[in-house]
Amino acid sequence: MKYLITIVGPTAIGKTALSIALAQHFNCEIISCDSRQFFKEMTIGTAVPSKEELQAATHHFIQNKSIFENYTVGDYEKEALLKVEDLFKKDDFVILIGGSGLYVDAILKGFDEFPEINPEVRTDVNSNYEKLGITYLQEQLQLLDSDYFEKITLENPQTLQNPQRMMRFVEVCIGTGKPYSSFLNQKKNNRNFTPILIGLDAERSVIYDRINQRVDIMMKAGLLEEAQTLYANKELNALQTVGYRELFSYFAGEITLPFAIEEIKKNTRRFSKRQLTWFKRNEDTKWFDFSVDRRKIITYIETKIGQ
């Protein structure tokens, strides 16, 4: 039996330290599932593991891509599953760690398959969005797939404000002539491993304090200078990221630096709430307080293996 020990939880909760401890205990390697740590130009603002941490256990998918590459969650799914398969040839365990819920789901469950969409449709949808705003996308989805629109409104309303995802829904509807929802849950993706899901959590005030402290540490470590080197490419998708966007606004003269730092903290706190909402949907996840003795987590994993 092969086991994918998956560690999830909000940003700054201590997932990296736990993953290294588990990798050393089970003598295995780590696959990162953080969609911003893939990019080699982004180090400080994405809290990439330190050199010491990277040396303490073998990591994969850390700073292995460039911000100039078009790297999708589908690309990651293919590459990461191949790596998982390769690691399972020599080990019975692999650690998957990440705060990017969509990317975790890609490995654990996979995605539904959609037909190729004519690039002209994508261009038209994008053009209309730029002219008419997010309201255009919301109205189109409500018109073309009212059931899915209602489902999002009830279960995940913030998605209605996400232009990338909304454009995808609309372009599929227009490009195929069918509702986006008609392509969902059509295919079962089989996995040749057993996942063991571990979640780290804390009181909200503790999470927020840890986030605020991390941002202060990032600023002292040179986040401002790192963001400055990336500012010329601020339109790239990889850079639409908390910690960089706010500093880009400062460089543009739109806000002051102290305000930008407070915005980074606020937006990171909001992000952590969304992470927890996403991960807590999965009832198979066993949650632990971030401060728990790691031996308790190891005992839980060994109990799951013994079942």
16 is in an annotated binding site: yes
pLDDT tens-digit readout, 41-51: 999 999 999 99
299 is in an annotated binding site: no
**Number of alpha helices (DSSP H) and beta strands (DSSP E) in the chain:** 13, 6
74 is in an annotated binding site: no
pLDDT band of 188, cuts 50, 70, 90: low
Specify the pTM: 0.80
Q: Is 203 left (phi over 0), alpha (psi -120 to 50) or beta?
A: beta
Closest CA to 66 of 249, 245, 236: 236
pLDDT band of 279, cuts 50, 70, 90: very high
106 is in an annotated binding site: no
98 is in an annotated binding site: no
Q: Give percent of the chain with pLDDT exceeding 90.
A: 82
Domains and CATH numbers, the chain: 3-111+190-306 (3.40.50.300), 119-183 (1.10.20)
pLDDT tens-digit readout, 111-124: 777 788 898 998 99
Q: Treating both helix axes as pointing N-terminal to C-terminal, what angle do 204-221 and 223-230 enclose, rounded to 10 degrees?
A: 70
Other residues' Cβ atoms within 10 Å of the Cβ of residue 42: 22
